């Protein structure tokens, strides 16, 4: 054994002996405060530390869904920039450095919680894993579209609806991309009630394992699509409060939720959240009201609030004003209590330069120790702490 091997062996023995000193509840209480990205190397110190890491994540400080803000230049050739991620378990903003940078072919867009996609005249690119390390490429839909509704339903179908160019015969056309057969199929078009709003600019979409839901943001009229049966159902009027002037939908624990702005854009009386259940959405329950001070934060520097966007997964919902994306409102939802925790968060991806030069696209996903370990081991992504997030 040469000197280098002896030194390495001695260092490993020293690490192992030190790891044996800190055990049990003491170790888990320390791990409670360690950021998730730092738990990756800690879990490899020894078998006992590995067990302690996973025990801590299961029982004490459990992982929570990450919010990821993707930055893209607003000018061709749509160059990529670093992404920013908020880890609520650690209450930290992180910078994600892709390696190599993603090659953009068009505007980056998101749908639901995890789907990212780009659509050009020659290619359709999409990714839906938590950290978007894997991108899939295929031919574009058969009908050329500029602003379609796009949604991942389950793990097999991507539905692309509406948004067709003026010269296309049917602005309501719908196509499905089957992830197993890797083929496009034309389906029953959007309901005629969406004739004047068949684009992602005007429709809010949500999806779960079985269906896609599309809501007209101005009227609240909603239809749902079953990609297995290839049929639409509805329309349904989900607005049980006549004071709603703008609404969007999302998903929480596989249930449909609706966020509505009340009053009018120049005088917002409030923002409420409903959970919608039943085959015909006949069971509607108000589960939360955004506190007045957080409504003011969403308005930002403007006196009015024209629209709102949401991103959600499981029990966490983020709300933001697309005209003022610097402030995010966060709420945690419990199946029995409704919304039980409110807060606001400064968007680390926003500053004066980015506000003018970059587009911001948001996703939300469960990011586990395995996801981070794979990203680090592959060399495709690196992570660094930007700052401590301040939840107010």
Whose tokens are 């930055």? That residue is 71
Question: Alpha-carbon distance 327 to 321, whole Å?
Answer: 8
pLDDT of residue 101: 63
pLDDT of residue 15: 42
Task: Count CB atoms within 10 A of the CB of residue 51.
Answer: 13
Alpha-helical runs (H) found in the chain = 3-21, 24-31, 36-42, 47-59, 292-299, 352-357, 369-378
Question: Alpha-carbon distance 111 to 361, whole Å?
Answer: 10
User: What is the side-by-side order of every strand in the sheet holding 66-73?
Assistant: 358-365, 66-73, 83-87, 92-98, 381-388
pLDDT by residue for the chain (392 residues), tens digit each?
443 443 333 344 344 444 455 666 777 778 888 899 999 998 888 888 888 888 888 888 888 899 999 988 766 666 666 789 999 999 999 999 876 666 676 888 999 889 999 998 889 999 999 999 999 999 999 998 889 999 999 989 999 999 987 656 688 999 999 999 999 999 999 999 999 999 999 999 999 889 999 999 999 999 999 999 999 998 999 888 899 999 999 988 778 999 999 999 999 999 999 998 887 787 788 889 999 999 999 998 878 899 999 998 888 999 999 988 889 999 988 767 677 789 999 998 886 444 445 788 999 999 999 999 999 988 888 898 887 666 66
Question: Alpha-carbon distance 140 to 119, whole Å?
Answer: 7
281: enclosing H helix or E strand? none
Closest of 57, 34, 58, 11 to residue 42, by C-alpha: 34
pLDDT of residue 2: 44
Return the structure tokens found at 378. 């592959």
Question: Alpha-carbon distance 141 to 112, whole Å?
Answer: 20
Question: Alpha-carbon distance 331 to 271, whole Å?
Answer: 13
N-to-C CA span, the chain: 57
DSSP 123-138: -EEEE-STT----EEE
In the chain, the largest separation of any two C-alpha atoms, in whole Å, equals: 81
Instruction: Give, in order, the Cα–Cα distances in Å from 310 to each of 55, 248, 252, 257, 264.
Output: 32, 7, 11, 10, 19
User: Could you tell me if 112 and 251 are in contact, meaning their C-beta atoms sit under 8 angstroms apart?
Assistant: yes
Q: Burial, 378: exposed, middle or buried (Cβ in 10 Å; 0-12, 13-18, 19+)?
A: exposed
Return the structure tokens found at 191. 């309901």
pLDDT of residue 22: 61
CA of residue 278 relative to chain centroid, distance: 25
284: enclosing H helix or E strand? strand 283-289
pLDDT of residue 185: 95
């Amino acid at each position: 054994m040469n000197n280098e091997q002896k030194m390495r062996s001695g260092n490993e023995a020293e690490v192992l002996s030190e790891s044996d000193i800190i055990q049990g509840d003491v170790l888990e209480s320390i791990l409670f405060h360690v950021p998730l990205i730092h738990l990756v190397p800690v879990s490899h110190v020894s078998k006992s530390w590995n067990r302690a890491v996973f025990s801590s994540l299961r029982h004490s400080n459990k992982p929570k869904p990450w919010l990821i803000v993707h930055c893209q230049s607003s000018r061709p050739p749509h160059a990529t920039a670093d992404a920013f991620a908020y880890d609520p378990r650690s209450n930290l903003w992180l910078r994600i450095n892709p390696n190599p940078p993603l090659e953009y072919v068009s505007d980056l867009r998101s749908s639901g919680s995890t789907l990212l996609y780009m659509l050009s005249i020659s290619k359709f690119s999409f990714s839906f894993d938590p950290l978007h390390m894997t991108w899939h490429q295929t031919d574009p839909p058969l009908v050329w579209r500029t602003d379609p509704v796009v949604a991942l339903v389950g793990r097999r179908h991507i539905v692309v609806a509406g948004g067709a160019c003026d010269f296309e015969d049917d602005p309501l056309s719908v196509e499905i991309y089957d992830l197993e057969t890797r083929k496009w199929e034309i389906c029953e078009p959007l309901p005629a009630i969406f004739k004047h709003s068949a684009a992602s600019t005007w429709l809010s979409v949500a999806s779960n394992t079985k269906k896609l839901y599309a809501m007209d943001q101005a009227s609240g009229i909603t239809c749902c699509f079953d990609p297995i049966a290839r049929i639409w159902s509805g329309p349904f009027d989900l607005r049980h409060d006549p004071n709603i002037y703008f609404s969007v939908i999302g998903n929480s624990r596989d249930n449909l939720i609706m966020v509505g702005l009340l009053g009018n854009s120049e005088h917002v009386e409030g923002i409420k959240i409903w959970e919608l259940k039943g085959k015909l959405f006949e069971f509607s329950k108000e589960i939360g009201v955004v506190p007045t001070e957080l409504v003011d934060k969403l308005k930002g520097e403007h006196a009015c609030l024209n629209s709102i966007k949401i991103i959600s997964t499981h029990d966490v919902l983020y709300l933001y004003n697309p005209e003022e994306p610097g402030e995010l409102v966060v709420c945690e939802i419990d199946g029995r209590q409704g919304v039980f925790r409110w807060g606001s968060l400064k968007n680390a991806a926003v500053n004066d330069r980015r506000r003018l030069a970059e587009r911001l696209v948001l996703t939300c996903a469960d990011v586990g120790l395995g996801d981070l370990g794979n990203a680090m081991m592959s060399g495709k992504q690196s992570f660094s702490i930007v700052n401590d997030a301040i939840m107010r």
